Amino acid sequence: MIITKKSYAFEVSPQSVDFNCQITLSSLTDLLLTAAQYNAEENGFGLRKLNNNGLSWVLLRLALEVDYFPLQYETVHIETWIETVGRASTTRNFCIRNKEMQVIGYAASTWAMIDHHTRRAQDLFTLDNIGDFASEETVPIDKPFKLNESRGALTDVFSAKYSHIDINRHVNTMRYVEWVSNGFTPEHYNQKSVKRFDVNFMSEILFGEEVRIYKTEEAGDTYLFEILHNDKTSCRARLIFRSKE
């Protein structure tokens, strides 16, 4: 029996929150990707199976809209499902609920499967029955889209370290989210809350490579980020904030 949707419950741990005891953007992103991993494993195309064949999943784009960031020790329910499957990429969606099962956010993501050795995208239809899990069910937010180049003020320069690198031997997704989140002060987070987060991944950053982060402020509490390695764009991100009441 094919189960196209499933919900996973997580407790917000103390190490997942900021100074306001709210879950951080990177920790919430981590829960989304963990739910995706659990669901893919249960459906037969998870990381363990792919890794055994020299393959892996990589995140290409993510869009997240949140009305409320859960607090420490709160339970978060993340429901996830596949919307579409093509040869080059697949779309996976998420619905985020609080402990009362009220919807507090949605996310949509685009993924590709790569060969560990060549680093090239592989045909998704080589995975048995993955197309059977495509539900065509959307989420009520704008889909992930291409972010344009925006190289504003240089805000940080450093080298990719051991703790930045994941199983694919490149910088982990959550590190990018942390780097973007670090573009603001604690006072900013006292007054503002993230309304929408977009990220595009374009090229991988490897251990030891120089990382340069650029930030551009636009109208409407909107900020654009360009993350480069060796003068090549690796990631683009956008954060839209709302004022806290």
Q: What is the DSSP string of 214-245?
A: EEEEETTTEEEEEEEETTEEEEEEEEEEEE--
Does one domain contain both 159 and 109? no
pLDDT at position 23: 98
**Final residue of a structural domain among 145, 161, 186:** 145
Cβ neighbours around 15 below 10 Å, total = 8
Distance CA 57, CA 47 (A): 7
Does one domain contain both 90 and 151? no
Does one domain contain both 151 and 167? yes
- Assign 46 to helix, strand or coil: coil
Distance CA 198, CA 186 (A): 21
CA-derived radius of gyration, the chain:
18
Among 48, 31, 33, 83, CA closest to 201:
33
In single-letter form, the type of residue at position 216 comes to T
Distance CA 195, CA 178 (A): 16
Enumerate residue ranges in the chain where pLDDT < 50: none
Does one domain contain both 13 and 34? yes
Number of domains forming the structure of the chain = 2
- Torsion, Cα 112 172 34 225, to 10 degrees, reads -80
pLDDT at position 1: 60
pLDDT at position 50: 87
CATH of the domain at 231: 3.10.129.10
Does one domain contain both 241 and 124? no
Does one domain contain both 114 and 64? yes
Does one domain contain both 4 and 102? yes
Does one domain contain both 11 and 126? yes
Beta-strand relationship, 192-201 and 103-115: unpaired
pLDDT at position 22: 97
**Final residue of a structural domain among 145, 168, 189:** 145
Does one domain contain both 120 and 51? yes
**Final residue of a structural domain among 130, 145, 160:** 145
* Residues in contact with 90: Cβ distance below 8 Å, sequence separation at least 6, in sequence order: 82, 84, 110, 111, 112, 124, 130, 134
pLDDT at position 245: 73
pTM of the model: 0.95
pLDDT at position 196: 98
Does one domain contain both 127 and 154? no
Does one domain contain both 21 and 68? yes
Range of the domain at 8: 1-145
Does one domain contain both 205 and 115? no
pLDDT at position 46: 85
